[in-house]
Amino acid sequence: MNTKIKQLVKRGLKLVFGKRPIYTTANIVTLAPNELLKGRFALITGGTSGIGFAIAEIFLRSGASVCITSRSQERINNALKKLENTASEHNVHVYGYVLDSRNVSSYDSAICSIAEMEGKVDILVNNAGISGGDIPTVSEEEYDNILDTNLKGVFFLSRTLGKYFKEHHIKGNILNIASSSSLRPAGSAYTVSKWGIRGLTLGLAKSLAPYGIIVNGVAPGPTATPMLNKNGSDNIAINGIPAKRYALPEEIANMALFLVSDMGRMVLGDVVYMTGGAGLLTFDDIGYDF
């Protein structure tokens, strides 16, 4: 076979096979049932699916009771059905509460109602969030919706819980679900909101540390949640980042458990980046069009 033919064959093979998706899975290690959070009560916003749901599940298996929130009662009901067996197995409770993160005026009454479920709240996980808002196409309404949900809501709910912890002498935890986007050039409203979360985590940690309140963040990279993996495929391969795959919600939940447990009390004001290299080692895996 001459050189020209060899080149044509190689080019043809590359066209046929080079764009075929690589099928990737991951072997995720999770902690066995434990008592790391025994007797504690966690409020998890946006806890009906994805990362929030995985955090709720691992908290239940670690001895905490949990309240998940959503704007939708139907989504809460569906999630509770999936979590109730886990709660029963570990002799803890799981609750749901309809909460719109954009409605700041509802926070005081919401926290009072949620605290009554178990007598106190001592963990807040700010997980609720929405994506989108690219600079070239975002409308003012969409921008406001993203910032109100992802940043304004976190700001004021953290303030509400921070005051609650302080007034009741609770050495609690606030954990913000940040993003690898906070390390990237901000090309969208979503990325702007996550830059805000990064700074807010530092500010809250410094302000609340004197009261024994621990504030940290977890920053996932691309994660196989309904928000990103809309086609429901179980293939977690992704090009463009060093890890070559999506993170799984259970991986993020493992770190969340560590950070709100007593094992993590010397981690203060930090954001743990679980990005597979996205944002840390590269940010060219997404487009920057204008």
Q: Which of 95, 143, 164, 190 is catalytic?
A: 190
Sign of CA dihedral 218, 221, 223, 228: positive
SS3 annotation, the chain: CCHHHHHHHHHHHHHHHCCCCCCCCCCCCCCCCCCCCCCCEEEECCCCCHHHHHHHHHHHHCCCEEEEEECCHHHHHHHHHHHHHHHHHCCCCEEEEECCCCCHHHHHHHHHHHHHHHCCCCEEEECCCCCCCECCCCCHHHHHHHHHHHHHHHHHHHHHHHHHHHHCCCCCEEEEECCHHHHCCCCEHHHHHHHHHHHHHHHHHHHHHHHCCEEEEEEECCECCCCCCCCCCCCCECCCCCCCECECHHHHHHHHHHHHCHHHCCCCCCEEEECCCECCCECCCCCCCC
How many whole angstroms separate alpha carbon 173 and alpha carbon 273? Answer: 18
How many whole angstroms separate alpha carbon 52 and alpha carbon 45? Answer: 7
Assess whether 163 carries a catalytic annotation: no
Assess whether 194 carries a catalytic annotation: yes
What would the two tokens of residue 240 be?
Answer: 């463009």
Q: Which of 194, 230, 244, 273 is catalytic?
A: 194
What would the two tokens of residue 278 be?
Answer: 């996205």
How many whole angstroms separate alpha carbon 276 and alpha carbon 149? Answer: 26
Residue positions annotated with a catalytic role: 190, 194
